C-alpha cells in the first residue's frame, strides 16, 4: 500500500511499499485517520539516526495515530469493527523480565513504530495487537486520539515525579512534550507549573492554560520566577524537557531541598551534570523513556475534559502533502506546536 517512506536521510517519498496485512487471532486491522508528526520522526528524516537507532533501509514514518477498526482477530474481545481507537506504538515481549516487572517500555525486545528497523503507520491501514489498541470515547476526536501518544510521555513524567497535591513544578522546554508534561503535572495535583523557553509564541500558547506560568528566559530569570513563586524555597519538581545541555547549568538552584528532577528531554550532546549540587539538595533523579501502563489513563483524562490538547494542534495536512508537512516540521517554526496528517476520505 502507499506510505510515507524515509528512503534515507533527507529523502522522503510517497510510494507503494509491501507492509503486513494479515490479521492474527489477537490483532486488529485499523483504518488510519490522523497521524501526528513527532520530533523523533523529524530527527530520523534530518539526521538518519537517534543514538543507536540508525535508518539503514527504507522505513515508513509515523507513530502517533488514531483510526477506525476494520477487522478483528478471532480471540479479540472488547473491540469490534467500527470502533474508533488510538494505538500504543510500542509492542514488547510480554514474557520478558521487563514486562513482568511492569516496565515493558524498557524491554530490549520492544518493537516500536517508526524506530529502525520497524515500519511506522503513515499509511492507510495497519495491523496491531488488540492489547495495545484503545477505544476512544465519543467525546474524543481522532485528532485528540492522535495526541494520546505524546501526552502519555507527559503522563509518564508526572507519574515518575510522584507529585503531591499542591506541589509547584518547573518545566524546562515549551515544545509539545514540555507543554503536555505541564498539563499532566497539573492534572496530577500540582498547584502551579512554571514553563520556560526562548520561543515567545509557544510560551503564549502554554500561558493560556490556567495554572501554567510562562517564563521567557531571553528576557527574564527562571530562578527569580521560581523564587517569587515559592518564597525562595524552590520548586518541588523540575521536569527537564528541552534536551538542551545548557538547561543543566544551575538546574539544582531551582529545586527545593529534597526535590525531584525528572529527565524527559533526550540530549544529543554531552551534558555537564553537577553531582555535588544534586547531593547537597539530596535530590531524587528520575528518568523517562516513553511510557508504560498509562495510555488508557491518558485517554480518560482527555475524555474528562480536564486536559484539553486541541489548542496544541497547529495545522493538519492531507496525506498527499505529507512530505510538505515534514519539510515544515524540520524548519522548527516558533509558532508550531503539533502538526498532524490526515488520511483522504476520512469523515
pLDDT confidence of residue 105: 95
What is the reported pLDDT for 182?
A: 98
* pLDDT tens digits along 224-246: 999 999 999 999 999 999 999 99
Instruction: Give which of 233, 200, 230 is closest to 218, Cα–Cα.
Output: 200
Q: What global pTM score does this model have?
A: 0.95
Q: Sign (positive/negative) of CA torsion 178, 181, 187, 189? A: negative
Q: How far apart are CA 241 and CA 214, in angstroms?
A: 14
Residue 151: helix, strand or coil by DSSP?
Answer: helix
The domain segmentation of the chain, as residue ranges, is 2-147+309-342, 151-287
Report residues of the chain scoring pLDDT below 70: 346-347
Looking at domain 2-147+309-342, its CATH superfamily turns out to be Medium-chain alcohol dehydrogenases, catalytic domain (3.90.180.10)
What's the confidence (pLDDT) of residue 346?
60
Residue 308 to residue 209: CA distance in whole angstroms: 9
Give dist(CA 264, CA 325) in Å, integer. Answer: 25
What is the topology classification, in CATH, of domain 151-287? Rossmann fold (3.40.50)
Q: Which three cell numbers stand for residue 214?
A: 510562562
Amino acid at each position: 500500500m502507499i506510505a510515507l517512506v524515509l528512503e534515507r536521510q533527507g529523502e522522503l517519498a510517497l510510494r507503494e511499499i509491501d507492509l503486513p496485512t494479515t490479521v492474527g487471532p489477537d490483532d486488529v486491522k485499523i483504518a488510519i485517520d490522523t497521524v501526528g508528526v513527532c520530533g523523533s520522526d523529524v530527527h530520523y528524516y534530518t539526521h538518519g539516526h537517534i543514538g543507536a537507532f540508525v535508518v539503514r533501509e527504507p522505513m515508513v514514518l509515523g507513530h502517533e495515530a488514531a483510526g477506525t477498526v476494520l477487522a478483528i482477530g478471532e480471540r479479540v474481545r472488547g473491540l469490534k469493527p467500527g470502533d474508533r481507537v488510538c494505538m500504543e506504538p510500542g509492542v514488547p515481549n510480554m514474557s520478558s523480565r521487563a514486562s513482568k516487572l511492569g516496565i515493558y517500555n524498557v524491554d530490549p525486545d520492544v518493537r516500536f513504530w517508526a524506530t529502525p528497523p520497524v515500519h511506522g503507520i503513515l499509511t492507510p491501514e495497519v495491523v496491531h495487537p488488540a492489547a495495545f489498541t484503545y477505544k476512544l470515547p465519543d467525546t474524543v476526536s481522532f485528532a485528540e486520539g492522535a495526541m494520546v501518544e505524546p501526552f502519555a510521555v507527559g503522563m509518564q513524567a508526572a507519574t515518575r515525579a510522584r507529585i503531591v497535591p499542591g506541589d509547584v513544578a518547573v518545566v524546562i522546554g515549551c515544545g509539545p512534550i514540555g507543554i503536555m508534561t505541564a498539563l499532566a503535572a497539573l492534572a496530577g495535583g500540582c498547584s502551579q507549573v512554571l514553563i520556560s523557553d526562548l520561543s515567545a509564541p509557544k510560551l503564549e500558547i502554554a500561558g493560556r492554560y490556567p495554572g501554567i506560568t510562562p517564563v521567557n528566559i531571553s528576557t527574564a530569570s527562571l530562578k527569580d520566577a521560581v523564587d517569587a513563586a515559592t518564597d525562595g524555597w524552590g520548586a518541588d519538581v523540575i521536569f527537564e524537557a528541552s534536551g538542551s545541555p545548557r538547561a543543566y547549568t544551575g538546574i539544582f538552584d531551582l529545586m527545593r531541598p529534597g526535590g525531584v528532577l525528572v529527565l524527559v528531554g533526550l540530549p544529543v550532546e554531552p551534558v555537564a551534570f553537577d553531582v555535588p549540587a544534586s547531593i547537597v539538595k539530596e535530590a531524587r533523579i528520575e528518568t523517562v523513556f516513553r511510557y508504560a501502563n498509562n495510555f488508557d489513563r491518558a485517554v480518560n483524562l482527555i475524555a474528562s475534559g480536564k486536559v484539553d490538547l486541541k489548542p496544541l494542534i497547529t495545522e493538519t495536512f492531507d496525506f498527499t502533502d505529507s512530505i510538505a508537512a515534514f519539510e515544515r516540521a524540520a524548519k522548527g517554526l516558533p509558532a508550531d506546536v503539533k502538526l498532524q496528517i490526515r488520511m483522504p476520505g476520512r469523515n
